[in-house]
Chains A and B, each alone.
Chain A
Amino acid sequence: DTEVTQTPKHLVMGMTNKKSLKCEQHMGHRAMYWYKQKAKKPPELMFVYSYEKLSINESVPSRFSPECPNSSLLNLHLHALQPEDSALYLCASSQRTVLSSGNTIYFGEGSWLTVV
């Protein structure tokens, strides 16, 4: 069972809507991530937060706006999305950003987003 909780599990939004995806972990992890996954494709990294600061933005369009209010929460604000943005959005966390022995990345179950 994952200890990374994502809400909502499903979201349908229009292209003019503003919505948010939320992610929460209580494992004391200091690194949190957003990934995007299209159907039949592997997950692709979008953003990385380390100690509540944005450390990596993989050239994601500005219509996606991440926010890390505290070490346990990660939000992804969505505005003016396009139908091609429909995908599974995965949140993940790890003790630190550097991958090393014992520093595993744990994923949530994802939020299915449909843009109409």
Chain B
Amino acid sequence: DAKTTQPTSMDCAEGRAANLPCNHSTISGNEYVYWYRQIHSQGPQYIIHGLKNNETNEMASLIITEDRKSSTLILPHATLRDTAVYYCIVRASPSGSARQLTFGSGTQLTVLP
């Protein structure tokens, strides 16, 4: 499985966009990029995932580079409640075998008032 690299921590001002980078230079063609976040003392929360194209939902946008070696999660208007550890995960979707989420170290995002 592809390994991901994320900054250990980031700060963002409330109301500004939070851009969280993730490097996955060894990603293969059938591997998806997933983002989860974990607010302190809660279970991980699914945010978004993508394969090649950029994706957007009500929570965030996911920008994947053309070579797929890196991606950026964008929270367009960060609030204090977005303070959490954000995990970028790359997992394959092969047929005939079970592939699960394996969490890396993640990025601690702190939204400052």
| A contacts, CB < 8 Å to B | 2, 4, 31, 33, 42-45, 48, 50, 55-56, 88, 90, 92, 97-101, 104-110
Q: Are A101 and B104 in contact (CB under 8 A)?
A: no
**Residues of B that sit less than 8 Å from A by CB:** 32, 34, 41-46, 49, 51, 87, 91-95, 97-106
Contacts A42-B105, A105-B101 given: A99-B92 contact, CB under 8 Å? yes
> B103 touching A43 by the CB < 8 A rule?
yes
Give the interface centre of B44, B97, B103 by most chain A CB atoms within 10 Å: B44
Contact assessment for B98 and A100 in the assembled complex, using a CB-CB cutoff below 8 Å? no
Asked, given contacts A48-B100, A99-B32, whether A109 binds B43 with beta carbons under 8 Å apart, the answer is yes
- Assess whether B98 is in contact with A107, with CB atoms less than 8 Å apart: no
CB distance from A1 to the nearest CB of B (A): 10
Q: Across the interface, do A108 and B43 meet the contact criterion of CB distance under 8 Å?
A: yes
> Is there an interface contact between B102 and A45, defined as CB atoms closer than 8 Å?
yes
Complex Cα spacing A101 to B49, Å: 8
Nearest CB to that of A42 among chain B residues? B103
